Amino acid sequence: MTESWRALAKPSRILVTGAAGFVGFHLCKQLLADGHTVLGIDNLNDYYAVQLKRDRLEQLQKLSGFAFSELSIHTEDYTKAHADFKPDILVHMAAQAGVRYSIDNPWVYVESNLIGFQRLLETLRAYPVRHFVFASSSSVYGKNAQVPYKVTDRTDQPVSLYAATKKSNELIGSTYAHLFKIPMTGLRFFTVYGSWGRPDMAYFSFTKKILQDSPIQVFNHGRLKRDFTHIRDIVESIRRLIHLPPSGEVPYRLLNIGASQPVELMDFIRTLEDLLGKRAHLEMKPMQPGDVLQTYADTRELEELTGHKPQIDLHQGLREFASWYRDTDAGSKYL
């Protein structure tokens, strides 16, 4: 399928929500390098360091073809920005992230992940695009014990509000694709990591704590596995996929996007220790509410569609991250 996406990859007007976020930032850089015109949208909320988002934006604003609007997707301002820009493709990466944060801050998730998503769908009814690609999450698999996770598996037992909002996006999106023929692809992301990443993610805080000789809380006594997926592999899949909208009676699909190589948490920590040249002080803790034991993506459909199979292993990806972390003094700037 590699030649198919290349044949369809003409310069386009692409709107990216969450452009100052981790995935949105890297995706915008690649789309601009590919010659597309990009409008980035973000509300620059303070869930984590706003300075990190501003620094990402500063990188993007140096590139030709990029424009930015600071606004919230659940407002009428979004519809106006969309209508004025007239995108060919909409890539929706904006969301209130975090599993544990959703336990104490539910309304933030309702506003961004539910009302915001509905705003986008209603906007698309009035101002259609060739392809609507939106971020879902591996968290929708919830208590599913069968691995690897397939998109056909049950996803009706989410264990966090965050996961429930993402499942809701999938269901409502499918309905709109059926009713209004909006070509739509939902992507279930699996533990994305890499340079310019989110400070609330474990690998970011672990790095700071190891370097500072501070204790690390290791949940479920380290008996957790995650399908860590490097940001460059995520972006490469998306840049190909956006040119391959679904068709048919219901132009809708769901895809897993992961490395398909689950790593035990303790192996992850040991790799990070080796790269940093220091040992971690571990505090073993019980399982946390909203967590799952393992994530593991079946990505065969995505690979067949795009021709891309993840290339970057954990050691290489963490080495790049550790280098970026030290070069930018990320620990003191963003944590």
Contact 141, 125 (CB under 8 A): no
Rounded CA-CA distance 213/176 in Å is: 51
Torsion, Cα 125 127 129 131, to 10 degrees, reads -40
Cα angle at 97 between 91 and 103, to 5 degrees?
145
Contact 136, 170 (CB under 8 A): yes
CA atoms within 13 A on the CB side of 328: 20
* Residues catalogued as catalytic: 162
DSSP secondary-structure letter at 249? S
Distances (CA, A) of 326 to 103, 229, 314, 315: 32, 21, 18, 17
